[in-house]
Amino acid sequence: MIELSAIHKHYRMGEQEVRALDGVDLVIGRNEYVALVGPSGSGKSTLMNLLGCLDTPTSGRYLLNGRDTAQLTEDELARVRNREVGFVFQSFHLLPRMSVLDNVMQPLVYRGLPRAERRRRAIEALERVGLGNRLDHRPNQLSGGQRQRVAVARALVGEPSLLLADEPTGNLDSRTSAEIMALFDALHAQGQTLVVVTHEPDIAAHCRRTVRVMDGRIVGDHPNPPRAAAGAA
């Protein structure tokens, strides 16, 4: 479903050229559960932003669900971002003045669905993340873990083929992080394709495959050993 070939992303910083990505080849299939790891500054977020069509490469080819993303117009890219990709960020990115329900309904506004249908789907997504009883709360009335679950519901509400999470547990304590990862594990078991950026080995261990990035290149790519059944979850 994802096929990157010879992807480069260069930034010009005055005289200097920063090679954020420097020749990346990567194939990710449907229902894979991939950890993207590597030190700070190695290019992980740049790669995620390209996968999510939030950004375009300097050169190389990116096929998403069989379509060459370079051939898409701005409108088509916006549509892909809205329909095919769900994004979860470290700092949640919820709208503070809106209720939980309105935050989750937001991505569906662009779909031309009647309000009742948007509401129904948003409630369903919130139930999937265990927050069906928090619809009218504001984000600041929730814990960090609950906020991140709202963000996951918002990412899922449009039924994207790909869920991307960039350091989703970076602002959470270890117990709450484990809850978010248990949620991702469940989504994976239900057929979701996930790519999770992290620099924490405990988080990466939830995934089935680890791709290691260093200096804008992929320097490792291996299946993860099977996890022991999580007793304390």
Helix or strand or coil: residue 61? strand
One DSSP character per residue, 209-221 reads: EEEEEETTEEEEE
Minimum CB–partner distance for residue 143 and ligand ADP (Å): 26
The whole-angstrom separation of Cα 194 and Cα 188 is: 7
For residue 42, state whether it binds ligand ADP (rule: CB under 6 A): yes
Burial of 207 (0-12, 13-18, 19+ CB in 10 A): buried
Identify which range of 10-18, 27-35, 74-82, 200-208 contacts ligand ADP by CB under 6 A.
10-18
First to last CA, the chain: 31
- Map residues 22-41 to x or -, x wherever contact with ligand ADP holds by CB under 6 A: ----------------x-xx
The residue within the footprint of ligand ADP, chosen from 4, 43, 62, 86 (CB under 6 A), is 43
The residue within the footprint of ligand ADP, chosen from 6, 11, 143, 219 (CB under 6 A), is 11
Q: Are 38 and 199 in contact (CB under 8 A)?
A: yes
For residue 71, state whether it binds ligand ADP (rule: CB under 6 A): no
The whole-angstrom separation of Cα 167 and Cα 108 is: 25
**41 vs 220, beta carbon nearer ligand ADP:** 41
**Using CB under 6 A as the criterion, which residues of the chain lie in contact with ligand ADP when the complex forms?**
11, 13, 18, 20, 38, 40-46
